[in-house]
Amino acid sequence: MHKNKPRLGSQIDRATQPFPVNSYPKGYVFNIFIQEVLESPEDFIEAITALNMASPDDDVIVHLNCDGGSLDAVDTLLFEMSKCQGHIHIKASGTIASAATLILLAGNSYEMSPYTNILFHSSSFGYAGKAQDVVEYSAFAKKQTEALMRDYYKNILSDGELNDIFVNKRERWMDAGEFCARFEAAQEKSKAEHEAKQQAEYEAMMAEFEQDDLPEEVLKKLTKTQLIQYIQGEIDVVIEEDGSFTVVEIENDEE
């Protein structure tokens, strides 16, 4: 079981710097609280600290109840979440709207209150300057924000729903039940695609062998890791007369 650790989230007073940690045992739980409108990357200082400290054996729990905020600010958090070595678990409740929905979809797992409200909509922004500068920035910002949102929403919302949001400026509300059903369907689809990709890679790897290289009965008993090592010349397979075989590591004389 994981041991609880003093939290590095927003419950720490803003005037207090996160305490230094030089070493700690494995299996900690880091808690991050995101419950206010997000305006600046400075809002995530404690959260980013926790995300960077987490090891593969740690859990990072994000307590999410947020009306959204600046996409530029949230992009900073999303980037750090993508690099976090720990398991990120989202605990959602209340209303999760706008940019906060991206955080919801950036975790490895989640749980939510049955009364959670989720709002998807297109981005809003303002810009001042010369007329042509405004036109160019608007086109650029539209392209960037749509690319970001489509990347995160593609498995939750259909192409038609996404176009309705971006083109017709519609808002899309979703309750916890609908979100969970869509998320689980997306997970199954992602799992199937991953397994299909692995199978294709395995078949391509098997195709690299000539028929007289290794007997089929031996190939079937080798693991995928051993096949890769064999192709790369890291191991050899010695086949005995009785059909048994031994995997031998090839020594590399280079230092």
Contact 98, 67 (CB under 8 A): yes
Separation between Cα atoms, residue 84 and residue 146, nearest integer Å: 25
Q: What is the CA radius of gyration of the chain?
A: 25
Most confident segment among 96-105, 190-199, 201-210, 237-246: 96-105
**What burial class does residue 60 get, using C-beta atoms within 10 Å of its C-beta: 0-12 exposed, 13-18 middle, 19+ buried?**
buried
Instruction: Please write the tens of the pLDDT for every residue from 111-139.
Output: 999 999 999 988 776 666 778 877 887 78
Question: 70, 118, 113, 121: which is closest to 93 by C-alpha?
Answer: 113
Q: What is the pLDDT of residues 136-183, one digit of tens each?
A: 877 888 888 888 888 888 888 998 999 898 888 889 999 999 999 988
- What percent of the chain stands above pLDDT 70? 84
pLDDT at position 23 over 90: no
Among the ranges given (33-47, 144-158, 199-213), the one the predictor scored with the smallest mean pLDDT: 199-213
Residues 137 and 128: beta-carbon distance below 8 Å = no
CATH number listed for the domain at residues 3-131+159-192: 3.90.226.10
Cα separation, 253 vs 237, whole angstroms: 19
Quick one: pLDDT band at residue 79, thresholds 50, 70, 90? very high
How far is 31 from 13, CA to CA, in rounded Å? 15
Per-domain boundaries in the chain: 3-131+159-192, 208-248
Q: Which residues pair with 143 in a beta bridge?
A: none
Residue 65 clears pLDDT 60, i.e. is over it: yes
Q: How far apart are CA 126 and CA 124, in angstroms?
A: 7
